[in-house]
Chains A and B, each alone.
Chain A
Amino acid sequence: AQSVTQPDIHITVSEGASLELRCNYSYGATPYLFWYVQSPGQGLQLLLKYFSGDTLVQGIKGFEAEFKRSQSSFNLRKPSVHWSDAAEYFCACVRAGDSNYQLIWGAGTKLIIKP
């Protein structure tokens, strides 16, 4: 069955340091992948998406993600985090088959920023 795995429940990073959040998917064909962010007390906002083409995708708020088919990964990166990046981050992929309106979600990674 299709699945999305975010191996890290929490990540702590110092302000100004670089960030990488991991996401692995299981799907035989090319998946359609997303990263969303949920700031405290708010709903989710789309950061970026990957469908095909260039495997390095740029998003909002200075984030980027790289699709690596050989590793079944779609990791999110930012070169220098800001305190306002403290949030929960979710990776998702489109559910294959008839239900192509739906997304399959990872469990989320909570990002904590140290001053």
Chain B
Amino acid sequence: DVKVTQSSRYLVKRTGEKVFLECVQDMDHENMFWYRQDPGLGLRLIYFSYDVKMKEKGDIPEGYSVSREKKERFSLILESASTNQTSMYLCASSPPGEARNQPQHFGDGTRLSIL
């Protein structure tokens, strides 16, 4: 069974801090995704990566960056956290190929609060 593990379930940080959210998958998937989930807005894609060191911006990349140095690990970085980045963050992975053929597998999420 695919396991996507996010390092923290809950995280509280202060405005201006640099914040790292970590995600690890154990199924050798090429594709990895970071989403932000807010009530009434569904899931919005921040960044995704289709291979090591490869990344593409999603719909809302501003204020975020990512790192994928190893295939199994995909990190989301908030360069200077702001209160409007308080949200639930979801990581997902999928095998290579088009989304119609390769469903995404999700972690349990990190609820991040910026004070």
Contacts and interface: CB of A to CB of B under 8 A. Distances in A.
A32 interface: yes
Contacts of B27: none
Which of B31, B42, B45, B56: most chain A Cβ within 10 A? B42
B107 A101 contact: no
B61 to A, nearest CB: 13
A101 B40 contact: no
B108 A100 contact: no
Contacts of B104: 44, 46, 103
Contact of B50 (A42, A94, A101): A101
Interface stretch (B11-19, B65-73, B95-103): B95-103
Interface residues on B, range: 20 to 34
Contacts of B45: 102-103
Interface in B37-55: 40-45, 48, 50
Interface in A93-109: 94-95, 99-103, 105-108
Across the A-B interface, the 7 shortest Cβ-Cβ residue pairs? A43-B106, A32-B100, A105-B42, A105-B43, A107-B42, A44-B106, A46-B103
